[in-house]
Structure 1
Amino acid sequence: MNTFNKEDAKMVTLQTQVDTSHEDMIHDAQMDYYGTRLATCSSDKNVKIFEISNSQHKLLAKLSGHEGPVWQLAWAHPTFENLLASCSYDKKVIIWKETSTNQWEKLYESNNHDSSVNSVCWAPHELGLILAAGSSDGSISVLSCNIDSNVWDVKKIQNAHSIGCNSVSWGPVFPPTNFSYTPQKRIVSGGCDNLVKIWLYSESEDKWIEEQKLEAHSDWVRDVAWAPSTGLPKTLIASCSQDRRVIIWTKSLATANQESSSSGWSYNILNTFDDVVWHVSWSIMGNILAVSGGDNKVSLWKETPDGRWICISGLSQTNK
């Protein structure tokens, strides 16, 4: 375990500061696939989209449709044109579509939960237009779209986490090992039961089943992130918790594509921080992990060739 030392870390350079003019706390900010547009959401119930160019930014659209604080956003892959998902305390998931330049409309509104929807995440585009959402009602909903007819099918994982589900993240589509290989759908989730769970969609049973239960955290799991496939013979999941720890879960790809009752997952504690850790996010190449928490700092971590995780950069969020 490596203790984060801000004196030893290189500082990230602040390149752009965006004045969103949200009227309340901002809960999420997500860049699109090309890194040219930024979507933000807030307790003011609104979603905003900005154009980011060099050090300049311009408001392109304001999306109003939620009736409560908006917790999280997710851009779909550009294969499906310009789609943005949002989830809210109002129990709704809204999928927004850009119908013409900077003109956005509701494509679909989901009302499948009995409590706040806390997390949304799109599946890898190879699997189709599929969105997962985790809710405080303890369930996970999976929304699949028939693109030609815009008909949405919803499947629910009931009682995925007792007390509530805080985060969902899709597993990557692994490179085929043979010509008969069919990509498998997997989701990792984190909840208020202190657990990280992996869910596998069973084609034969037409339902989601609990494939694995990962136990190591001692308090609510606030976020989970499955690393993109990097071509390495292993897959990684990061989780963070109110117990102030970030944990890296590792499994060999030799067993990752197999339905098995044996775990195969091992874990390392990346670090124990000074405050609750709210969010973990992988770089697009899956080799750098960003961590942010209640200490108002963002730190970047990378695995060394000998398997150790080191802090390569830190950013204090107070230097605005």
Structure 2
Amino acid sequence: MVTNISNIHDDMIHDAILDYYGKRLATCSSDKTIKLFDIEGESYRHITTLKGHEGPVWSLAFAHPKYGTILASASFDGTVLIWRPVASVSVAASPANWEIIARHTAHTASVNSIEFSPPEYGAMLVCGSSDGSVSVVEFKDDGSTDAIIMSAHAGGVNAVVWAPHEVTPTGVSGPAARRFASAGVDGVIRVWVYDTAANTYAEEATLRGHTDWIRDLAFAPSVVSSRVYLASAGQDGKVLVHVRDGSFEWTAKTIDIGDVVWRVSWSLSGNVLAISAGEDKVLLYKETRDGDWEACGDVAQ
């Protein structure tokens, strides 16, 4: 099933995401707006247009529904806005009526990438900026926010992504399991882990292999046999699949695409990697038994 939604923005669209249930679509654009749609089967309905940014909007993220209907947006204007439907005591809130409930203004340049954490970590948002820093914003029960900011990549940060929640073999959440990765103009990936004692994130690993900008990162959605998979998309025309084993050592396999790679995304089961490259390529890859990666299809345009 393919549903086309055309002519929804007045300029280039930079991100389009579905909520946790796949029932609501959010899009953002260089026209400085965010548009929300309800999706039902092959039909859709435009709910509202959100205006609040003063520059192009690059990235969107829905929070886990455990924390309510929350949408974050990141913009060239250097801000991250947090939106939710307006609550009403007597009448159910209209889906068209949204409000800004928080502003994250710690960055001094464009905020290029954002993502909400796995719900096990709490309500947290990681942000990557052209000012070279990454920040983690925690939303507290009393409505306040707290932010931790780290210098990360010279020249700017293009992508940030949370690692999947990990548990110890006994099934108890590991205290050091809160991790995310960042990448940017320097062609380097940094993996960060939360340091409880210092209340900050420390660099746990530095992953190299790209020779140009890294455009996107994606962790496979689950940990399989103590292995963690992280895919990176490069301006150099390559996708690197980094694998961390039970000993916390990282190795990498290279997929040579031969054209600039913009985005990478995993299937829900984590066994198929989708790659967006060039002007019109969407390629599918899967891991072979010997640990290499082979093409298993493409998506017709």
Q: What TM bracket, shorter-length normalisation?
A: over 0.9
* Counterparts of 1:59 and 1:312, CA distance in 2: 35
Q: How does 1:1-320 map to 2 (within 5 A)?
A: 15-99=2-86, 100-102=93-95, 103-147=97-141, 149-158=142-151, 160-178=152-170, 179=172, 181-182=174-175, 184-252=177-245, 254-256=246-248, 264-269=249-254, 271-317=255-301
Task: Kindly provide the CA deviation profile for residues 52-92 of structure 1, in whole angstroms up to 9, marking residues without a partner as x.
Answer: 22221110121111110000111111111111111010001
Q: Which amino acid aligns with 1:274?
A: G
Q: Which amino acid aligns with 1:190?
A: A
Do the aligned residues in 1 keep the contact of 2:123 with 2:138 (CA within 8 Å)?
yes
* Compared CA separation, residues 180 and 314, structure 1 to 2 (3 A): closer
Structure 1, unaligned stretches of length 5 or more? Answer: 1-13, 257-263
* Compared CA separation, residues 15 and 293, structure 1 to 2 (3 A): same
Q: Which amino acid aligns with 1:108?
A: A
Do the aligned residues in 2 keep the contact of 1:173 with 1:183 (CA within 8 Å)?
no
Q: How many residues align?
A: 293
Quote the offset at 1:183 in angstroms.
Answer: 5.2
- Percent identity over the alignment? 41
Quote the offset at 1:316 in angstroms.
Answer: 4.1
Q: Which amino acid aligns with 1:176?
A: T
Quote the offset at 1:209 in angstroms.
Answer: 1.1
Task: Kindly provide the CA deviation profile for residues 181-221 of structure 1, in whole angstroms up to 9, marking residues without a partner as x.
Answer: 32521110111011011011100111111111111000011
* Compared CA separation, residues 216 and 59, structure 1 to 2 (3 A): same
* Compared CA separation, residues 66 and 180, structure 1 to 2 (3 A): closer
Structure with more relative contact order (C-alpha pairs < 8 Å, separation 6 or more):
1
Do the aligned residues in 2 keep the contact of 1:127 with 1:183 (CA within 8 Å)?
no
* Secondary structure in structure 2 of the residue aligned to 1:33: coil
Task: Kindly provide the CA deviation profile for residues 159-180 of structure 1, in whole angstroms up to 9, marking residues without a partner as x.
Answer: x000000000001111222358
Task: Kindly provide the CA deviation profile for residues 110-164 of structure 1, in whole angstroms up to 9, marking residues without a partner as x.
Answer: 11111100000111100000000000000001100112x1110011012x00000
* Counterparts of 1:134 and 1:174, CA distance in 2: 23
Do the aligned residues in 2 keep the contact of 1:230 with 1:285 (CA within 8 Å)?
no
* Secondary structure in structure 2 of the residue aligned to 1:255: coil
Structure 2, unaligned stretches of length 5 or more? Answer: 87-92
TM-score norm. by structure 2 comes to 0.93
Q: Which residue of 1 aligns with 2:89?
A: none
Q: Which amino acid aligns with 1:293?
A: A
Q: Which residue of 2 aligns with 1:261?
A: none
* Counterparts of 2:117 and 2:174, CA distance in 1: 18
Q: Which amino acid aligns with 2:272?
A: I
* Compared CA separation, residues 145 and 299, structure 1 to 2 (3 A): same
Q: Which amino acid aligns with 1:268?
A: K
* Secondary structure in structure 1 of the residue aligned to 2:299: strand
RMSD of equivalent CA atoms: 1.5
Do the aligned residues in 2 keep the contact of 1:91 with 1:116 (CA within 8 Å)?
yes
Quote the offset at 1:310 in angstroms.
Answer: 2.3
* Secondary structure in structure 2 of the residue aligned to 1:115: coil
* Counterparts of 2:149 and 2:67, CA distance in 1: 23
Task: Kindly provide the CA deviation profile for residues 37-56 of structure 1, in whole angstroms up to 9, marking residues without a partner as x.
Answer: 11100000001111122221
* Secondary structure in structure 1 of the residue aligned to 2:247: helix
Do the aligned residues in 2 keep the contact of 1:174 with 1:183 (CA within 8 Å)?
no
Do the aligned residues in 2 keep the contact of 1:274 with 1:295 (CA within 8 Å)?
no
* Secondary structure in structure 2 of the residue aligned to 1:166: strand
